[in-house]
Amino acid sequence: MMIDNGGREMADDTDQYDQIAASFDEVEAIIRFVRENLEWPSFEAALGQLEGLRVLDVGCGEGSFTRRIAQLGAKDVVGMDLSPGMIALAEQSEAANPLGVKYHVHDLGAMPKLAEFDVVTAVHVLHYADSRESMSAMAATMFANLVSGGRLVALSANADSSARSEAAAGFKTSRPENPREGDKFKVAVLTDPPTEIEVHHWPTSTIVGILEEAGFANVVWEQVKVANFVTDEDMDRAQRCAENPTSLIITALKA
């Protein structure tokens, strides 16, 4: 998820996700609500028709979105992540219910070109960049792995999410006052005790600019929305999640 800046930043990111992998069921129980009722439905709508397309899912984590992408009819689906622990979880799911997804351990910022894919997806990956240089490296790698006319579909952290929406989604952030681009802060998933993840502050306008610098065109973003199937029982919480949500959808083209 991050380039190797002398080794320590990349190692830190690997370590924290290997630790989360060891108790992922607890984290999953918390994040499931916002993922199922806002994030995945919004992401699926942005993906559009995938039948027969080649898809690379960067920063795939335990593979939950990767597997859904395969189930939408995509072929040659490949997932990659920096964390061996997360890739191990993804491979366990593949072994239990084979969908033909292949997984690899790679650092997005330093990853070689694997192939030319029709779609590259990135789910909560970009906020691990600790500098414009590392964000640019991520963007360049995603661009290089797309065919001409291929699409990037990203689910990205909203740098302006509200505390009320975060709490409804099961998170608490500890952003510094007046954060600058790349500033590090912690997000706590509200397990017992909380599971903390270190991320970095990136305004959406900066991400859009870096993607455009990498060569992407038609870069568009929008907030995730409440799915139309949310039950009356869950609607109040879902609407609080959506008031100023924790996530955005960003799409772009390789012209």
Closest CA relative to residue 196, chosen from 167, 168, 174, 164: 174
Q: What confidence score (pLDDT) does residue 2 get? A: 32
The pLDDT of residue 22 is above 70: no
Closest CA relative to residue 58, chosen from 4, 11, 128, 8: 128
Each residue's pLDDT tens digit, 171-204: 999 998 999 999 999 999 999 999 999 999 999 9
Q: What average pLDDT does the segment 146-160 reach?
A: 97
Give the Cβ contact number of residue 162 at 10 Å.
15
Q: Domains of the chain by range and CATH?
A: 8-254 (3.40.50.150)
Each residue's pLDDT tens digit, 62-95: 999 999 999 999 999 999 999 999 999 999 999 9
Lowest mean pLDDT among 12-16, 109-113, 123-127: 12-16
The pLDDT of residue 20 is above 70: no
> If 0-12 CB within 10 Å is exposed, 13-18 middle and 19+ buried, where does residue 174 land?
exposed
Q: Tell me the whole-structure pTM to 2 decimals.
A: 0.90
Q: What confidence score (pLDDT) does residue 13 get? A: 55
Radius of gyration from C-alpha coordinates of the chain: 17
Q: What confidence score (pLDDT) does residue 7 get? A: 34
Q: What confidence score (pLDDT) does residue 158 get? A: 97
List C-alpha distances in Å: 243 to 10, 162, 238: 34, 8, 9
Which 8-state DSSP code applies to residue 140?
H
* CB neighbour burial string for 182-193, b if at least 16 within 10 angstroms, e if fewer: beeeebbbbbee
Q: How far apart are CA 117 and CA 113, in angstroms?
A: 10
Q: How far apart are CA 12 and CA 17, in angstroms?
A: 9
